[in-house]
Amino acid sequence: MAYVLPSKSNTTVLSYLPEFEQLKSGKEVVFDYYKESDVPELYSIFQQILEEGQTYPQESVETVEDFRNYYLSHDTFVLRDKATSEVLGAFYVKPNYPGRSSHICNGGFIVKEVHRGQGIAKLLVTKFLRVGGDLGYQASVFNLVYVTNTASLKLWENFGFKQIGRVPNAGNLKGLGYTDAIVYYHEFTPINNNLN
């Protein structure tokens, strides 16, 4: 039986948001919590990614409500074009496990197809590494990074994520068939090993 995680219980508010940044192209962007007005764009980006069939395990997410339950259930952050407010990319942060292991989070990243290759994913990872710790998590685990997703593999390794496992035939990817996945781990803060 898969873990059933409670909906959002984290009450930490990151008072330093929004943050203003610049992409390598010179485009000014804003990093912030998602807003309700972002939901249609986020859902559309996610639907496109699922249609590509290369990076997420879901074959489809039929409704906006299903998308909310999966992607927006905890803390979700977006990167917007400062001039137009267009959503360029996003990630969520939520516990990877329940209860005694809820100090280890998971993140799910999306970048709008027309804006890939502009350094958005790299900027989002930089932000994830900061906000993950600031939200109180001690580490992150990415359970399924398909070995065919070379851009993602390179990104995690460039940021110091450690390969801690490999899941054979983890995903039946569109046009590729069964593909292995790497499990990545990254520690935000030293783990306190004192017994409670």
Please give the pLDDT value at position 75: 97
Please give the pLDDT value at position 186: 97
**β-strand 177-187 against 139-146: which pairing, if any?**
antiparallel
Average pLDDT score over residue span 81-89: 97
pLDDT tens for residues 18-62? 999 999 999 999 999 999 999 999 999 999 999 999 999 999 999
DSSP string, 92-134: EEEESS-GGGTTEEEEEEEE-GGGTTSSHHHHHHHHHHHHHHH
Among 3.30.300.30, 3.60.20.10, 3.40.630.30, 3.50.50.60, what is the CATH number of 19-137? 3.40.630.30
Nearest residue to 94 via CA among 68, 72, 115, 114: 72
Instruction: State which H helix or E strand residue 3 sits in.
Output: none
CA distance 90 to 126: 12
pLDDT tens for residues 89-123? 999 999 999 999 999 999 999 999 989 989 999 99
How many CA atoms does the CB half-sphere of 117 hold within 13 Å? Answer: 2
Tokens for 132? 């993950």
Average pLDDT score over residue span 134-154: 96
Please give the pLDDT value at position 179: 97
Which residue, chain included where needed, has tokens 């559309």?
44
CA distance 120 to 79: 8
Please give the pLDDT value at position 33: 98
Sheet containing 104-111, strands listed edge to edge, beginning at the edge strand earlier in sequence: 19-22, 28-33, 75-81, 87-95, 104-111, 139-146, 177-187, 162-173
Nearest residue to 21 via CA among 159, 156, 155, 127: 127
